[in-house]
Amino acid sequence: MRFAVLVTIAMLLSIRAPAAQSNAVEDFYKGHSISMIIGFGVGGGYDLYGRLISRFMGKYLPGNPGIIPQNMTGAGSLRAVNYLYSVAPKDGSVIGTFSRTLVLAPLLNAAGFDSRKFTWLGSVAQDVMVCFTSRASAIKTWSDFLSTASSLGGEGATAEPDIYALFMKNVFGAKVKLVSGYRGTGDIFLAIERGELDGACGISWGTIASLHPDWIRERKINVIVQTGLRKHPDLPDVPILTEAIRDQEQGQMLKLMLTPLAMSRPFAAPPDIAADRKQALISAFEKAASDPQLKIEGNRMNMDIDLVPAEAIQKMLAEAYATPKALLAKTANAISK
């Protein structure tokens, strides 16, 4: 009889525990807001995705908190990453999005954080990035890119346009002159339109489609090469960088560089968040990314919406962190000036 009573009590406690945790999370979020740190300026691709998720995620969190976008620019979003990792409260009140290439920064640039320790929420896209030039440029094909000097825009050492321009130069021999220091994708695009630059590398095709559909519709740009796990359906005749690989070492370096593209628009919270709030954030993010209305709005703005779960990001990072040190050193050298 005593054993039966103990079993009953244990069962009741196991039923009440999740309910208590749920109530605790709801009590924390109800009447409060969450800060969405966006590591780039207003109007770029990361900003579009950050603001889109911000409009939908709160309704899937207990307590339905508002989510307030806050742009925190600097060093290709490294400032935002360092804030999330070391400064932001670790209580579930701050989340953020930043450059996908920064997940490799601790391996290639000796950054002061461990990408595996973030509270990963997931990604809302698997992207294809391109190198492109303006219609006025003499560089119109991959062959031109390798044989003719081009000026490409950049933002800073850890930014995607800089990293991929240098990778094209140092690994594949493209005659690239990197002009860095622009404050974001929007400024680079303006410089291209003014004729100050030939073009740019490391730009999401989705960003171009969202911000400048006229460039595509009116053939104002030449897409030189695309970089991704697969060709984009909009670009069936544009070569993919994997086709340009000449040896095994190039292939290994490119495989590492493709890791961020599989988590194209990453979202994370600081490390060491309590388990119940962590699970609530992950669940709310996945539900928001799968929300039919969010997909409708994303499609209307030509944004690719394709959920990558948090677990998949953790697995990809574990594989990247297992890369041999010699290969990491060669890749780091390839994306430095």
User: What string of DSSP letters covers 193-249?
Assistant: HTTS-SEEEEEEHHHHHHH-HHHHHTT-EEEEEEESSS--TT-TTSPBGGGG--SHH
Q: Where are the alpha helices (DSSP H) in the chain?
A: 2-29, 45-57, 78-82, 105-108, 142-147, 160-172, 185-193, 205-211, 213-217, 248-258, 275-289, 292-300, 310-321, 325-334
- Same domain for 303 and 188? no
Sheet with 94-97, strands from edge to edge, namely 66-71, 33-38, 94-97, 266-269, 119-123, 308-309
Range of the domain at 183: 129-260
- Same domain for 283 and 330? yes
Answer yes or no: is 6 within a domain.
no
What pLDDT does 109 receive?
A: 82
- Same domain for 200 and 153? yes
Query: Residue 8, class by beta-carbon neighbours within 10 Å (0-12 exposed, 13-18 middle, 19+ buried)?
Result: exposed
CATH number of the domain within which 112 lies: 3.40.190.150
CATH number of the domain within which 154 lies: 3.40.190.10
What pLDDT does 95 receive?
A: 98
In single-letter form, the type of residue at position 188 comes to: I
b/e for 34-68, b at 16 or more Cβ within 10 A?
bbbbbbbbeebbbbbbbbbbbbbbbebbbeebebe
- Same domain for 154 and 240? yes
Answer yes or no: is 120 within a domain.
yes
Q: Which of 260, 293, 317 is the last residue of a domain?
A: 260
- Same domain for 159 and 252? yes
- Same domain for 70 and 145? no
- Same domain for 113 and 193? no
User: Tokens 């669940």 — which residue?
Assistant: 283
- Same domain for 281 and 312? yes
Q: Which of 260, 294, 309 is the last residue of a domain?
A: 260
pTM of this prediction? 0.80
Answer yes or no: is 327 within a domain.
yes
Give the three-state DSSP class for 321: helix
- Same domain for 229 and 281? no
**Encoded tokens for 323:** 């890369």
Cα dist from 135 to 122, 168, 218, 310, 320, whole Å = 36, 20, 10, 40, 37
Query: Radius of gyration (Cα) for the chain, nearest Å?
Result: 22
What pLDDT does 45 receive?
A: 86
In single-letter form, the type of residue at position 239 comes to: P
- Same domain for 52 and 116? yes
Which residues are bridge partners to 281 per DSSP? none
- Same domain for 305 and 328? yes
Answer yes or no: is 19 within a domain.
no
- Same domain for 120 and 267? yes
Q: What is the pLDDT along the chain (337 residues), one digit of tens a residue?
A: 554 544 444 454 455 544 455 689 999 999 999 999 999 989 888 999 999 999 999 999 999 999 999 999 988 899 999 999 999 999 999 999 999 989 999 999 878 999 999 999 999 988 899 999 999 999 999 999 999 999 999 988 878 899 999 999 999 999 999 999 998 888 999 999 999 999 999 999 988 998 899 999 999 999 999 998 889 999 999 999 999 999 999 999 999 998 988 888 999 999 999 999 999 999 999 999 999 999 999 999 888 899 999 999 999 999 999 999 999 999 999 998 7
- Number of domains comprising the chain: 2
Answer yes or no: is 25 within a domain.
no
Distance of CA 277 to the CA centre of its chain: 23
